[in-house]
Amino acid sequence: MRKPGRGRRLCVVGASGKLGRYMVRHALDREYEVVGVCREQSVDKLAEFDGRITVIPGPTNDQAVIARAVTGCDAVLTVLVPWGRDHYASGTAQAVLDHAQLEARLVFSCGWHISRDGKDVYGRKFKAYAAVFGKLAKLARVADVDDQVEACRRIFGSDTRWTVVRGSDLEEGESQGLPVWSHHVGDPVLASNLTRRVDYARFMVEAVDDDTLVHEAPAIVGRLTPSALAHSQA
């Protein structure tokens, strides 16, 4: 059977992280020609793909690096992280929005804390954790959650073919299959708040060919979690 990636080029921005490497593996399995962008000091983390992908080393918020990486790409999958204090997430998103081909499918990762329309409903525990983490990380100058929010604001306002995939808490482990998704955090199907990282990556890669996800911000949860199973039985 013809694989969906045959003859198509896909870029993973943030390829050296855990999610990024899973996405590279899924993309290679689907026979995409893969370009990976990662920070110079992380290139070694992509050693397992030597000879099978093109690696472009550099900061992912560098316009020239991203312009080079996304040239000719049919799809760009971007890991948005709040780390650092120099607008890394918004700079990364902006570079992708500015330089990807007009018709390219753009898929971004982030967490449930991002809300597109303000209609997400967060539990007390989630809100407390987000507030404490956000403040401490900002004080310690290790992360800037507000900048990830800004990155998504720019994506939501763009006329590119974007999807923002909002991840629940993550865990390692064997695949459970494609995660299920819902429009809003707080929807009962999402209550288990857990997804295998390998499946998050699969959702990102499969979103490329799912036009129903264009201009959506799906919140995902593992297919075999209790809340997803209860929902499917209902």
Ligand X SMILES: NC(=O)c1ccc[n+]([C@@H]2O[C@H](COP(=O)([O-])OP(=O)(O)OC[C@H]3O[C@@H](n4cnc5c(N)ncnc54)[C@H](OP(=O)(O)O)[C@@H]3O)[C@@H](O)[C@H]2O)c1
- Closer by beta carbon to ligand X, 7 or else 173: 173
Q: H/E element holding 163?
A: strand 161-167
| Residue closest to ligand X, measured at CB | 17
Least gap, CB of 170 to ligand X (angstroms): 4
Q: Which residues bind ligand X (CB under 6 A)?
A: 14, 16-20, 38-39, 42, 45, 79-81, 83-84, 88, 109-111, 167, 169-170, 197
The encoded tokens of residue 211 equal: 């036009």
Least gap, CB of 212 to ligand X (angstroms): 22
In one-letter notation, the amino acid at residue 38 is: C
- Closer by beta carbon to ligand X, 73 or else 201: 201
Least gap, CB of 207 to ligand X (angstroms): 14
DSSP per-residue letters across 20-53: HHHHHHHHHHTT-EEEEEE-GGGGGGGGGGTTTE
- Closer by beta carbon to ligand X, 31 or else 138: 138
CA angle 222, 108, 50 (to 5 degrees): 90
Q: How far is it, in rounded angstroms, from Cα 81 to Cα 152?
A: 11
Least gap, CB of 167 to ligand X (angstroms): 3
151, 143 Cβ separation under 8 angstroms: no
Least gap, CB of 234 to ligand X (angstroms): 25
199, 178 Cβ separation under 8 angstroms: yes
- Closer by beta carbon to ligand X, 111 or else 218: 111
- Closer by beta carbon to ligand X, 15 or else 100: 15
